[in-house]
Amino acid sequence: MDNSGSCSETMSGLTPNDPSSTFLDSGPAHAPSVFHMDVQGYRRVCWRVWLCHLGAVCSFGLLLVLFNWRPRLAVLARCTSCPLPMADTLLLRDAYGQQFVIDVLTEEIVEGSFESAGGEVDENEWRDNVQLHKEEKTVLRYYVFEGMRYVWMPRKGSFCRVSILNEGWTCADLHRLKQGLSQVDQSSRRQIFGENIIDVPVKSYPQLLFEEVLNPFYIFQVFSIILWMSDRYYYYAVCILIISFISIAVSLYEIKKQSTTLRRMAQLIVNVTVRRASGVEEYVSSVELVPGDCVVIPSKGLLLPCDAALLAGECMVNESMLTGESVPVMKTPLPVSDSLYSPESQRRHTLFCGTQIIQAKGGSSAGKGAIAVVTSTGFFTAKGDLISSILYPQPLNFRFYRDAIKFLMFLGMLALIGTVYSVVMLYRSNTTWTELVIRSLDIVTIVVPPALPAAITTGTIYAQGRLKKQGVFCISPPRINICGKISLFCFDKTGTLTEEGLDVWGVKVANGSGFNELIPDPRLLPPGAMLSALASCHSVALLGGQPIGDPLELKMIESTGWALQEPTNESGVCTEFGNHRILAVMRPPAAEFQSEGISVSKPVGIVRRFPFSSALQRMSVVTIGPGGGSACCFLKGSPEMVASYCVNESVPSQFTHTLREFASEGFRVLALAYKELDAQTDLSSIERVDVEKDLRFLGLLVMKNQVKPESAEVISTLRYARIRPVMVTGDNILTALNVARACRMVSSHEHVIFVHASPPTATSMASLRFHQGDGGTATVSTQEGMDMLEQGLYQNSFKYHLAINGKSFSVLCDHFPEYLPKVLMRGTVYARMSPDQKTQLVKALQKLNYRVGMCGDGANDCGALRAADVGVSLSEAEASVASPFTSRTDNISCVPLLIREGRCSLVTSFSLFKYMALYSLIQFASVLILYTVKTNLGDLQFLFFDLFLVTLLAIVMGRGGPSDELHPQRPPASLLSLSLLLGLLLHTLILILTQVSALFITSSQDWYIPLNSTKAGAQNLPNMEDTGVFAVSGFQYILMSVIVTKGYPYKKPLYYNVAFVLVLLALFAVMTWLVVFPRGIIHRLLQLYEIDDINYQLLIISLAALNFIICYFMEELADRCVPMCLQTLCRKRESKKQYKRLDALLTETPSWPPLDQSLYPPQCSVIGIS
CA–CA distance, 957 with 1061 (Å, rounded to integer): 9
For 883, residues 6+ apart whose C-beta sits below 8 A from its C-beta are 324, 854, 862, 865, 866, 871, 872, 873
Three-state DSSP at 519 gives: strand
Q: Which residues pair with 969 in a beta bridge?
A: none
Cα dist from 602 to 97, 555, 684, 694, whole Å: 67, 22, 22, 26
Alpha-carbon dihedral sign for residues 814, 487, 879, 500 = negative
Nearest to 310 by CA among 159, 178, 138, 218: 178
Helix axes 978-1003, 894-932, angle to 10 degrees: 40
Handedness of CA 793, 796, 800, 802 (dihedral sign): positive
Question: What one-character DSSP code corresponds to residue 521?
Answer: -
| CA atoms of 875 and 138, how far apart (whole Å) | 50
- Is 331:348 a contact under the CB 8 Å cutoff? yes
Q: Which helix (H) or strand (E) holds 444?
A: helix 433-447
Q: Helices 71-78 and 46-58: crossing angle, nearest 10°?
A: 130
Q: Residue type at 5? A: G
**Active-site residue, 492 included:** yes
Residues with Cβ within 8 Å of residue 404, at least 6 apart in sequence = 453, 456, 913, 975
Query: Taking Cα atoms as reference points, which of 487, 689, 521 lies closest to residue 598?
Result: 521
Nearest residue to 466 (alpha-carbon basis) of 485, 483, 454: 483
CA dist., res. 949 & res. 915, Å (int): 12
Q: Is the peptide bond before 1153 cis (omega within 30 degrees of 0)?
A: yes
The region, left, alpha or beta by phi > 0 then psi within -120 to 50, assigned to residue 630 is left
Beta-strand ranges (E) seen in 332-486 are 350-351, 356-361, 370-376, 472-474
Please, which residues have CB within 8 angstroms of residue 827's CB and are 6 or more apart in sequence?
726, 755, 801, 802, 803, 804
If you count DSSP H runs as helices and E runs as strands, how many of each does the chain have, helices first? 39, 40
DSSP structure class, residue 510: B
Q: How many residues does the chain have?
A: 1170
Residue 216's Cβ-count burial label (10 Å; 0-12, 13-18, 19+) is exposed
Note whether 697 and 646 are within 8 A (CB). yes
| Terminal alpha carbon distance of the chain | 30
Sign of CA dihedral 19, 25, 29, 35: positive
Cα 1165 from Cα 768, distance rounded (Å): 15
Taking phi first (over 0 means left), then psi (-120 to 50 degrees means alpha), and beta for anything else, what does residue 60 get? left
Q: Residue 462: phi, psi to the nearest 5?
A: -65, -40
- Which position among 18, 293, 492, 836 bears the catalytic label? 492
What is residue 970's DSSP assignment? P
Give SS3 for 856.
Answer: strand
DSSP letter assigned to residue 694: S
Query: What crossing angle do the helices spanning 382-391 and 234-266 adopt, rounded to 10°?
Result: 170
Run of H or E including 244: helix 234-266
Distances (CA, A) of 57 to 54, 60, 73, 74, 82: 5, 5, 17, 15, 28
Q: Which residues are catalytic?
A: 492
